[in-house]
Amino acid sequence: MPSALPLADPAPLDGVLPASVLEGADERNFGVYLHVPFCRVRCGYCDFNTYTADELRGAKRADYAGQAIAEVEFGGRVLASAGLPERQASTVFFGGGTPTMLPAVDLISMLGAVRATWGIAEGAEVTTEANPDSVDAAYLRSLADAGFTRVSFGMQSAVPRVLATLERTHDPERIPLVVGWARDVGLQVSLDLIYGTPGETIADWRASLDMAIAQAPDHVSAYALIVEDGTKLARQIRRGEIATPDDDVQADMYELADARLVEAGFGWYEVSNWARGAEGSPALEWDRFASRHNLAYWQGHDWWGIGPGAHSHVGGVRWWNVKHPAAYAERMLAGQSPATGRETLDPETRRIEGVLLRSRIREGLPVSTLTAAGRTAVAALIAEELVDARAAFGGSIQLTLKGRLLADLVVRRLLDE
Ligand SMILES: C[S@@+](CC[C@H](N)C(=O)[O-])C[C@H]1O[C@@H](n2cnc3c(N)ncnc32)[C@H](O)[C@@H]1O
Ligand code: SF4
C-alpha cells in the first residue's frame, strides 16, 4: 500500500492543469469515461455513485446528457490550453449506474460530443455497460449504428435464488436474448459475473459460468462479492439475516472460473478479467477482446472522467468530481469545473501506484520499477509459486494462479511492507 499520501491540491474552478502533465504525454493514450449516475432500483450490494428517482433532489435525468456534454467541451478547452498534443480518444466507456436507463439518443449525443471535441481514433473501443432488462434490439442497433463497438451486460448469475439475494431485477432467461441482439448488430459482448454470494453453492457458480460461456461472449469479468460498508447487504449481514461471504469458498470459485474459462478458450489478462483467445494465442487476439479502456487505467494512461463522482487522470494529476447529480448540475450550469478535489502524485507515489496496478495484469510489472528491497522479495515469491519464474527471469513480474488469489499479499511484499 502507498506509504505516503499524494499531495492534495485545491481543485481550481477553471480546471487549469500544471505544465508537468506535458511530460511524456506523447507516449500516453487518451480515453474518456462517461458516468451515468442513475439506476431504477439500487441492488443491495452496490455502493457505486448512482441514484434512484427519489434520491435525485431535483436533478433531472432528462437534463443529464446536456450537462455531460458541457463537461466534455470544458475538458476539451482545459486539455488544449495545457498545451497537450492533440490526442483522439482511443477508448470511450459509458459506465454507471445504468447508462442504458437514458434514451439511446442521449448516449449517442454524448458520444457525438467526444467525437467533436477530441475525435475518436480509428479502431477505437466504445463500450457501454447495460443491465439485461434495460435494453432491447432497437436500442442496441441505434448504439451500434452510432459507433459503439462493445456492450458489457451485468449478468451476475444464472441462478434466480442468487440473483434474488443480490436483489437483481432481471430474469436470467433474458441473457441469451440480449446477447443475441447485441451480436446481430455486430457489438462485442462482455458479461459481468459475481461469485461468493451468501447461499451460492459451487454448483450454482458452475451453472452461471456454463450459462455465460454458452453465450460465446468475447469477454468475461468475474468479481468476488465485496460487502461494502453502508450497503443494505452489509446491514443484513450485521443483523445476521445473511451470512458473510466465505473467503475459502470464494477462492475455490475463482479457481473454478479460471479452469472453466481457460477450457472454453478464454485467457486471463487481469486478475478479474478474461478475454477470448486461448492460452498461447497470438497477442493480437488479446488486444482485440481485452477491455482496452480498463487496461489503460492499469497501465497509467490518461483519461477524462465525465459526470458526478467521476475520476480523471492526466500525467500524474488526478481529480474527482462532486458526487451528487444536483451539485454536478449546478457546477455545469455555472460553467465551472465539477472537480471537488485534486492531487498531484509525486514520482515515488506514481511508482507505488504502478506496482499496485500493473502487478494485476498479465503483461506484468517490469522488475525495473521495484526498489532493491522489492527485487529481493521476488526470489521468495517465485519459490512460493506466487510469481511466474520464467517471466521474472525475462524481467517481468507476472502472477501465477496462486498469486492471483493472493494478489494483495504479493503487492505488499513487492513494496516491502
Ligand atoms: C456499474 S455495474 C454494471 C452496470 C449495471 N449497472 C449492472 O449492474 O448491470 C459494474 C459491475 O460491478 C460489479 N459490482 C458492483 N458492486 C459489486 C460488489 N459489491 N462486489 C462485487 N462486484 C460488484 C457488478 O458485477 C457490476 O456488473
Ligand atoms: S444496477 Fe448496477 S450500478 Fe445499479 S445498483 Fe445495481 S449493480 Fe449498482
- pLDDT score at 278: 61
- pLDDT score at 288: 77
- Cα of 85 to ligand 2 centre, how many Å? 36
Computed on alpha carbons and rounded to an integer, the radius of gyration of the chain in Å comes to 21
Query: Residue 191 in 3-state DSSP?
Result: strand
pLDDT in tens, 314-349: 999 999 999 999 999 999 999 999 999 999 999 999
- pLDDT score at 277: 85
- Taking CA atoms, 345 is separated from 5, 25, 170, 368, in Å, by 9, 16, 42, 20
Is residue 1 over pLDDT 50? no
pLDDT in tens, 135-163: 999 999 999 999 999 999 999 999 999 99
CA 80 – CA 92 distance, rounded (Å): 19
> Is ligand 1 within 6 A of the CB of residue 191?
no
Cβ(214)–Cβ(220) below 8 Å: no
- Cα of 259 to ligand 1 centre, how many Å? 23
- Cα of 48 to ligand 1 centre, how many Å? 8
Categorize the per-residue pLDDT at 244 as very low, low, confident or very high, splitting at 50, 70 and 90. Answer: very high
Across residues 351-366, what is the average pLDDT?
Answer: 94
CA 78 – CA 35 distance, rounded (Å): 19
CA 50 – CA 315 distance, rounded (Å): 28
Contacts of 167 (CB under 8 A, 6+ apart): 41, 42, 43, 44, 45, 232
Query: Residue 34 in 3-state DSSP?
Result: strand
Ligand 1, atom 6: nearest CA belongs to which residue? Answer: 98
**For residue 392, what are the β-bridge partners?**
none
pLDDT in tens, 43-76: 999 999 999 999 999 999 999 999 999 999 999 9
Closest by CA position to 277, among listed 292, 262, 291: 262
Is residue 5 over pLDDT 50? no
- pLDDT score at 295: 93
Categorize the per-residue pLDDT at 286 as very low, low, confident or very high, splitting at 50, 70 and 90. Answer: low
Question: What are the CB-based long-range contacts (under 8 Å, 24+) for 390-395?
Answer: 391/364, 392/367, 395/366, 395/367, 395/368
Query: Residue 5 in 3-state DSSP?
Result: coil
Using most ligand atoms within 8 A of CB, pick from 45, 192, 208, 297 the residue to mutate for ligand 1: 192
- pLDDT score at 416: 82
Sign of dihedral through CA atoms 123, 129, 135, 139? negative
Domains of the chain: 9-298 (3.80.30.20)
- pLDDT score at 123: 95
Categorize the per-residue pLDDT at 3 as very low, low, confident or very high, splitting at 50, 70 and 90. Answer: very low
Is residue 6 over pLDDT 80? no
Contacts of 256 (CB under 8 A, 6+ apart): 202, 205, 206, 209
Cis ω before 97 (30° cut-off from 0): yes
Is residue 8 over pLDDT 90? no
| Length of the chain in terms of residues written | 417
Q: Which residue has the cell 455465460?
A: 212
- pLDDT score at 161: 96
- Cα of 46 to ligand 2 centre, how many Å? 6
Is residue 4 over pLDDT 50? no
- Cα of 201 to ligand 1 centre, how many Å? 20
pLDDT in tens, 245-279: 999 999 999 999 999 999 999 999 999 999 998 66
Residue 394 DSSP class: T
Angle at the Cα of 324 from the Cα atoms of 91 and 340, rounded to 5 degrees: 75
How many CA atoms, within 13 angstroms, populate the side-chain half-sphere of residue 166? 25
Across residues 2-28, what is the average pLDDT?
Answer: 80
Across residues 104-127, what is the average pLDDT?
Answer: 98
pLDDT in tens, 158-206: 999 999 999 998 899 999 999 999 999 999 999 999 999 999 999 999 9
Categorize the per-residue pLDDT at 87 as very low, low, confident or very high, splitting at 50, 70 and 90. Answer: very high
pLDDT in tens, 293-311: 999 999 999 999 999 999 9
Using most ligand atoms within 8 A of CB, pick from 38, 48, 49 the residue to mutate for ligand 2: 48
Using most ligand atoms within 8 A of CB, pick from 174, 179, 223 the residue to mutate for ligand 1: 223
> Is ligand 1 within 6 A of the CB of residue 106?
no
CA 185 – CA 372 distance, rounded (Å): 52
Is residue 398 over pLDDT 50? yes
Angle at the Cα of 42 from the Cα atoms of 64 and 144, rounded to 5 degrees: 50
- Cα of 327 to ligand 2 centre, how many Å? 21
Across residues 101-112, what is the average pLDDT?
Answer: 98
- Cα of 104 to ligand 1 centre, how many Å? 21
Using most ligand atoms within 8 A of CB, pick from 48, 163, 208, 272 the residue to mutate for ligand 1: 48
Is residue 287 over pLDDT 90? no
